Structure 1
Amino acid sequence: MPRIRPIRTEAIVLRQRPLGDADRICVLFSPTRGRVEAVAKGVRRPLSKLAGHVEPLNRGQFGLAQGRSLHVITDAQTLDAWPSLHDDVDRMTEALSMAELVDRSTDLDVASGPLYMLLKGSLDELARTSSPSVVRRWFTLRFLDQQGYQPELDECVRCRAALGPEGNGYAAADGGAVCPNCHQAGVGQRLSSPVFGLLRYMRRSSCEATTRVRVAADEAAELERHLRLSLEQALDGRLRSSSFTEALERAESYGHSAASVAADREREEQERAAV
């Protein structure tokens, strides 16, 4: 039987989970292979040469060999470590949220070049921005657009009337904004004029340009709520990273680090795997 040559692919590490005493299963996202689950053998040992290259939120070049059920990582070379993501709690939290969004929305071994470029570009911007949450919200809107869940912002999703700047509502279950008449009839949540304008601006503008827009705290909270509802409609459920964020906020209030929260989550995964 001919020997199958290893696959070489660029990929971003979305997450890991423990396997046995010394290995990890790494979830990679590649522009040509899509989401790939691969075993990194021995990476939990102190002298592993692979360990630094397969950390979550690293981008690298990977060699993959087909195992019985999963790929096996034969070698890896880091292309981008994005150290500022790992050194800052806010950036790390937003990056994990974006990675989880990709993880939950993609199929194994299905190429997704545009989504890969969106994730890579957003992580690049996240690594240098002073507004991490803005980058993640911009990514979320572009993600919805790419995946076919683009919120309607030009016409009312109920009566198809053209939308003006005032008095609109936002109905995530219906796919976007509703006009004042439909909103007054009880459809959707309030969509303030500044947030409506910001959504339209985000759609036509770059991530970098969006980070330069000053947004009041109440408007940011409203925008967050609308995007979260649209994501829940698209992905049929609440994102796990929101639970991570809540756990992180609780931990910080008690003086714990992000590393402690991550370690607790890993122990939980190991305990579930052992059951």
Structure 2
Amino acid sequence: MTLPTDTWRGSTVLRPGWLAFTGSAGATEAHAHAAVQVLLVTAGRIELSDVHGTRRPVHAAIIPTRTVHSLYGNADATATMLYLDPDSAPGRHVTARLSGLAREELGTWVAAARDLLPPDAHTRAPSALVEGWEPVAARRNPGLMAAVEALPRMLHAAVRLTDLAAAVGLSPSRLGHLFTTELGLSFPTYLRWARLRRVMELARDGANLTEAAHGAGFSDSSHLTRACHEMFGLAPSRLIQAVRSADLSKSPGEASRDA
């Protein structure tokens, strides 16, 4: 599939626990995020398709983690796309309310947006949406949370589950089980998501594609490219273009910059 190269233009906010893109939306290949995606169409026409081949225009959708989908925006399409880390409070809030539903079906994503998003969601800044979701009552296993906290400091090199488990005092099998049962992601999938977030952080700070790939622990640019296509349906150059200088210490409005 050949995708347009000039349709994804906008601004990106990168914050702890979530990131958001606001701007012109083009098309993607079939892909599956490690994050929970909240899609808000602000102009034009955007269609989503699911793994069953259902395709239709949407006004808003909430897409669970590891759910295969594609996106098609017309020439006038603009949107806000919010990606919630599965271990973050808003990510847990949304995921808990999708539990038990037909998560691979487009109709579920549209219904979830109708049920979970406020009526004025399309006019709110991404930070305001995130702040509106309170954490669910259930607490994560402390060993898993320690692993999630430790992982970013290890991304510059190869990360083995055995090493991470030893660092937090768990057996590899137990830690792998916790990633799957509590975050809904296998450890390798969560690791790829963490590396991609690191790529975006490095790109925000001025790194080129090769520098960002190595700094995030990808073996080479080809490895990064495969991961980007798998999780975003886009080449990494499109993400690099969108993520330009978002300072985590600033407010979301200050942090975004036109790509």
By relative contact order (CA 8 Å, sep 6+), the higher-ranking structure is 2
Q: TM-score, normalised by structure 2?
A: 0.30
Q: TM-score, normalised by structure 1?
A: 0.29
Q: Which structure: larger Rg?
A: 1
